Amino acid sequence: MPRTLTIDPAWFAPEAAPEGTRAHARTLIEQAKEAPDIWALGPAAVRERRRQGLTAFVIEPRSARAEALTVEGPAGPIPLRVIAPEQPSAVYLHIHSGGWTLGSNDQDDPRLERLATELGLACLSVEYRLAPEHPYPAGPDDCEAAALWVAREAARRFGVDRLLIGGESAGAHLAVVTLLRLRDRHGLTPFAAANLTAGSYDLGLTPSARRAKEKFVLNGRDIRMFVANYLQNGEDPSDPDISPLYAGLAGLPPAIFTVGTRDPLIDDTLFMAARWAAAGNDAELSVWPGSGHVHTSLPEPNAAPAFERVMRFLSGGSG
């Protein structure tokens, strides 16, 4: 039987957040007030500012162990960044964050390297096509193709058949869309577990996303603009391939849902975790008081324990 999903109101009490988490939030909010409007700059300029370390986005060391691999995709080769031990215990298909518009498959190297070193995972991070240059369905098409390659080739390439999938923010959204596409289009359920951090699952915007005015990493305007980049041809936001919150979720793997209480996408996680469990799947809810969007990659006190909980989940443990 799936475990009982519990939501504790104490998580949301202002005093529940560690002081370091609150201080980090104050710093980022003040920095955002002085920063240029990214939507006036445009995606290409923001990507360049990120590369130069001129935004609040944390530039982290790239792994010296990373190798490049390409797989065939619907519009040409799809790069996969591989960080793997010599004898993997499982393969983890990772999908990066960035609102379907920003980011790259090398931005999470420190955490993927930990998964490779401490859990023995062969981590493959997808360089999917980005909007607005490549709007829906380009990104999910690439992730689907990468997942099909992993399902077909993992045992031969890495010597293991245990497959995991996950991502952060838009990457968590694309991970769920990929699971649904494999189930519905190909009759496949090859992934044993899903790591879903601060995902966006309703592109029509949940209440917390609509109400988010303050710029603490992300606000409601940012989410609306990211969606506008991604959906450019009048798509229906309630289409399950676009907003997986509306999908039938039966037969999906156990998942851990990680989110901070001050993340504008808190409702997306709470709603999706509840629907995941209601569909008969195991859902572990990991909620962190006072933390902002994708806090597992931020220098604040809740980041390390949140990621360690993800690691326990991916290793087959829990809690």
The domains of the chain are located at 17-314
Dump strand ranges (E) for the chain: 67-73, 76-83, 90-95, 121-126, 163-168, 191-197, 255-260, 283-288
66: pLDDT strictly greater than 90: yes
Residues whose CB falls within 8 Å of the CB of residue 295, separated by 6 or more in sequence, listed in order: 21, 198, 260, 263, 288, 302, 303, 306
CA distance 179 to 53: 34
Structural contact between residues 153 and 183, judged by C-beta atoms closer than 8 angstroms = no
Structural contact between residues 116 and 123, judged by C-beta atoms closer than 8 angstroms = yes
| Predicted pLDDT at 318 | 57
CA distance 232 to 252: 29
| Predicted pLDDT at 240 | 98
Q: What digits encode the pLDDT tens for the residues 207-229? A: 999 999 999 999 999 999 999 99
Tokens of 103: 């980011």
273: pLDDT strictly greater than 60: yes
- In the three-class reduction of DSSP (H, G, I as helix; E, B as strand; rest coil), residue 290 is classed as coil
What is the share, in percent, of the chain residues with pLDDT greater than 70?
A: 97
Structural contact between residues 141 and 108, judged by C-beta atoms closer than 8 angstroms = no
Backbone angles phi, psi at 283, to 5 degrees: -135, 125
Farthest CA pair distance, the chain = 51
Section 49-65 average pLDDT:
81
Section 273-280 average pLDDT:
97
Residue 191, strand partner residues: 163
Rounded to 5°, the CA angle 304-109-296 comes to 25
| Predicted pLDDT at 319 | 53
| Predicted pLDDT at 124 | 98
240 versus 318: the higher-pLDDT residue is: 240
pLDDT band, very low/low/confident/very high, at 56 (cuts 50, 70, 90): low
Instruction: Kindly report each contact of residues 147-156 with a partner whose C-beta sits within 8 Å and lies 24 or more positions away, as own/partner.
Output: 147/93, 147/178, 147/181, 147/182, 147/190, 147/191, 148/182, 148/186, 148/188, 149/71, 149/72, 150/91, 150/93, 150/124, 150/190, 151/182, 151/188, 151/190, 154/91, 154/122
| Predicted pLDDT at 2 | 57
293: pLDDT strictly greater than 80: yes
pLDDT band, very low/low/confident/very high, at 49 (cuts 50, 70, 90): confident
- In the three-class reduction of DSSP (H, G, I as helix; E, B as strand; rest coil), residue 25 is classed as helix
Q: What digits encode the pLDDT tens for the residues 146-180? A: 999 999 999 999 999 999 999 999 999 999 999 99
| Predicted pLDDT at 4 | 76
pLDDT band, very low/low/confident/very high, at 121 (cuts 50, 70, 90): very high
Q: At what angle do helices 170-186 and 138-158 cross, to 10 degrees?
A: 70
Determine the topology of domain 17-314 in CATH. Rossmann fold (3.40.50)
| Predicted pLDDT at 197 | 98
| Predicted pLDDT at 58 | 72
Structural contact between residues 125 and 70, judged by C-beta atoms closer than 8 angstroms = no
Residue 125, strand partner residues: 81, 94
Q: Give the H or E element holding residue 136.
A: none
pLDDT band, very low/low/confident/very high, at 1 (cuts 50, 70, 90): low
Section 303-312 average pLDDT:
98
Whole-number Cα distances in Å, 4 to 274, 275, 282, 285: 10, 12, 9, 10
Section 243-259 average pLDDT:
98
Mean pLDDT, rounded, of the chain: 95
| Predicted pLDDT at 52 | 81
Section 249-269 average pLDDT:
98
Section 264-276 average pLDDT:
98
242: pLDDT strictly greater than 60: yes
Which among 160, 188, 164 has a CA at the least distance from the CA of 175? 164
CA atoms lying within 13 Å on the CB side of residue 306: 30
